[in-house]
C-alpha cells in the first residue's frame, strides 16, 4: 500500500472556532485507501472538528486537505459528500421524511440517478440493514437501534469511497454492536476506507488496526491500536483507560505470573491463562 499516494492527506491543519477556541493545531495525517482507522481522545480534543474537515463542513484556517490527490479547498460540500460519507452520532438530527423508504431516497437525490437505480439501491440497502419491514412506516417511530441503522443506511446507499463514523457504538447493546461490526466487514471487503471516532476501547482493541490519539487539538499518537492503547502515558494524556486485558496483564505480573507483553485480545489472554492453569494442574 505504500507505493501509492495516501487517499487522504491532512497537511499542517489549523482551525479555531469563531468564538476563539482552538480546535486543531498543526494536524498532519496520511490515510491510505482501504484502511480502518480509529480516532480517540478526550471530549474536546478535536476529533469531531477533524472529521468535519474531510467533507468541507469545516474549512481549515491554515493547511490543506487533499483527497485522492486533489486539494478540496475549491470543492463544495455537495461534491465532497459524494466521496466522503460522514455518519453522525444522533440519527434524530437527520430523520424527517414520511416513510423509511423516502428517507433513503432523499439521500440519493443529489446523485442524479435514474428512477430505476434509486429504487434498486433503496431496496438493497433496506435489505442489508434489516429495515425492509419498516419501509412504509414513519422513521420517527423507529427504536434507537433501528434509527441508528437507518442513519448508516442513508449514507452507505450513496456508496462513498470513504466512510467516517462518529461514535457508532454509543448506547448500543451486544446484538447491535455485532451487527455494526458485520457492516464494517462488508464495507472493508468492498475496499472502502473507514474512520471511526470512538470512546470504546475494547471495541477498538478488537476491531480497529490503527488508532490516532488526539489531545488539545493535536495528534499525540498514530500507530498500531494495540501498541497505542496499551501505552500508559498516552492513555492518561487522552483521558482514556488501559484496556482490560492490559490492566489484567499488569496485575498478573504484580503477583508473579509472567504474562508476556503481546497479549491483547480476550482470546489471547484466555489461552495464556489456560496454559498457566494446565501447568498448575500437572504440577499438582
Q: Give residues in contact with another protein (CB under 8 A).
A: 41-44, 52, 55, 57, 77-78, 81-82, 85-88, 90, 92-96, 106-111, 140, 143-145, 154-155, 158, 170-178, 199, 201-202, 236, 239-241, 243-245, 247-248, 251-252, 254-257, 266, 269-270, 273-274, 277-278, 280-281
Rank residues 5 and 170 by Cβ distance to another protein and give the closer one: 170
Is residue 152 within 8 Å of residue 90, measured between CB atoms?
no
Tell me the angle at which helices 100-108 and 144-156 cross, rounded to the nearest 10 degrees: 30
Rank residues 2 and 282 by Cβ distance to another protein and give the closer one: 282
Q: Smallest Cα–Cα separation from 211: which of 231, 226, 191?
A: 226
Is residue 229 within 8 Å of residue 245, measured between CB atoms?
no
Reduce the DSSP state of residue 261 to 3 states and report it.
coil
- Least distance from another protein to the Cβ atom of residue 274, Å: 6
Give the separation between CA 54 and CA 39, rounded to whole angstroms.
14
- Least distance from another protein to the Cβ atom of residue 72, Å: 14
Rank residues 35 and 146 by Cβ distance to another protein and give the closer one: 146
Rank residues 35 and 167 by Cβ distance to another protein and give the closer one: 167
Q: Smallest Cα–Cα separation from 198: which of 14, 46, 28, 40?
A: 40
CA-to-CA separations, 191 to 32, 35, 88, 187, 208, in angstroms, rounded: 11, 9, 22, 7, 15
- Least distance from another protein to the Cβ atom of residue 67, Å: 15
- Least distance from another protein to the Cβ atom of residue 280, Å: 7
Cβ count within 10 A of residue 134: 20
**Segments in the chain forming alpha helices (H):** 47-52, 77-83, 100-108, 115-128, 144-156, 174-189, 201-207, 225-228, 232-237, 244-254, 266-283
- Least distance from another protein to the Cβ atom of residue 12, Å: 24
- Least distance from another protein to the Cβ atom of residue 260, Å: 16
Amino acid at each position: 500500500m505504500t507505493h501509492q499516494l495516501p487517499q487522504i492527506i491532512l497537511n499542517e491543519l489549523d482551525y479555531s472556532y469563531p468564538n476563539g477556541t482552538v480546535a486543531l493545531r498543526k494536524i498532519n495525517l496520511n490515510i491510505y485507501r482501504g484502511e480502518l482507522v480509529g480516532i480517540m481522545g478526550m471530549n474536546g480534543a478535536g476529533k469531531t472538528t477533524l472529521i468535519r474537515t474531510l467533507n468541507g463542513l469545516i474549512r481549515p484556517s491554515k493547511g490543506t486537505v487533499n483527497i485522492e490527490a486533489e486539494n478540496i479547498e475549491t470543492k463544495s460540500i455537495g461534491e465532497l459528500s459524494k466521496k466522503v460519507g460522514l455518519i453522525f452520532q444522533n440519527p434524530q438530527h437527520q430523520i424527517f421524511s414520511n416513510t423509511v423508504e423516502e428517507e433513503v431516497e432523499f439521500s440519493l437525490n443529489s446523485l442524479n440517478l435514474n428512477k430505476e437505480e434509486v429504487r434498486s439501491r433503496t431496496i438493497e440497502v433496506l435489505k442489508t440493514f434489516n429495515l425492509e419491514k419498516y419501509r412504509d412506516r414513519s422513521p420517527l417511530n423507529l427504536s434507537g437501534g433501528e434509527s441508528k441503522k437507518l442513519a448508516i443506511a442513508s449514507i452507505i446507499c450513496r456508496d462513498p469511497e470513504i466512510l467516517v463514523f462518529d461514535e457508532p457504538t454509543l448506547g448500543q447493546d451486544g446484538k447491535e454492536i455485532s451487527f455494526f461490526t458485520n457492516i464494517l466487514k462488508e464495507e472493508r471487503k468492498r475496499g472502502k476506507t473507514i474512520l471511526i471516532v470512538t470512546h470504546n476501547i475494547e471495541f477498538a482493541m478488537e476491531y480497529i488496526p490503527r488508532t490516532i490519539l488526539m489531545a488539545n487539538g493535536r495528534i499525540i499518537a498514530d500507530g498500531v491500536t494495540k501498541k497505542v492503547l496499551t501505552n500508559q502515558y498516552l492513555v492518561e494524556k487522552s483521558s482514556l483507560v488501559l484496556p482490560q486485558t492490559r490492566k489484567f496483564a499488569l496485575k498478573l505480573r504484580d503477583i508473579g505470573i509472567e504474562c508476556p507483553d503481546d497479549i491483547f485480545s480476550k482470546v489471547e489472554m484466555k489461552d495464556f491463562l489456560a496454559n498457566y492453569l494446565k501447568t498448575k494442574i500437572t504440577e499438582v
